[in-house]
Structure 1
Amino acid sequence: MQTGHQLRQLFATILKENWPLSDPVALWNRFKANICDDVRHKLINKGFPDPSEDQIYDYGRYLLDSILNGSAKSLADFPPMPQPVENWAQFEENRLIAEQLAYDREEQRRLAEPRIQGLNAEQRTAFNAIMDSVLHNDPKLFFLNGPGGTGKTHVYNTLCYALRAEGIIVLCVASSGIAALLLLGGRTSHSTFKIPIALWEGKLCSIKGYHACRAAQEGRPHYLG
Structure 2
Amino acid sequence: MYPAVIRLQLHLPNQHSIQFHSNQNISDVLANDVNTKTMLKEFFQMNCVPELTGKYLYREFPQYFTWIQSRKEWVPRRSQNQVVGRIYVVSPSEGERFYLRILLNHVPGPKSFDYLMTVNGNVYTNFKEAAEIRGLLKHDDYVHHCLIEACSVKMPSSLRRLFVSILVFCQPTKVRELWDEFHTYMSEDYGRSISSNSEFITNKLLLEIRRLLHQYKKMLDDFDLPSINIAFLSDHPLPRIIEDELSIQISDEDLRCIEHLNAQQKLTFDSVIQSIMCNQPKLFFIDGPGGTGKTFLYRTILAHLRKRGKIIIAVETSE
Tell me the TM-score normalised to structure 1 length.
0.37
- Relative to its length, the structure with more helix (as a share) is 1
Tell me the TM-score normalised to structure 2 length.
0.27
Q: Which has the larger radius of gyration?
A: 2
Return the structure number with greater relative CO, CA threshold 8 A, min gap 6.
1
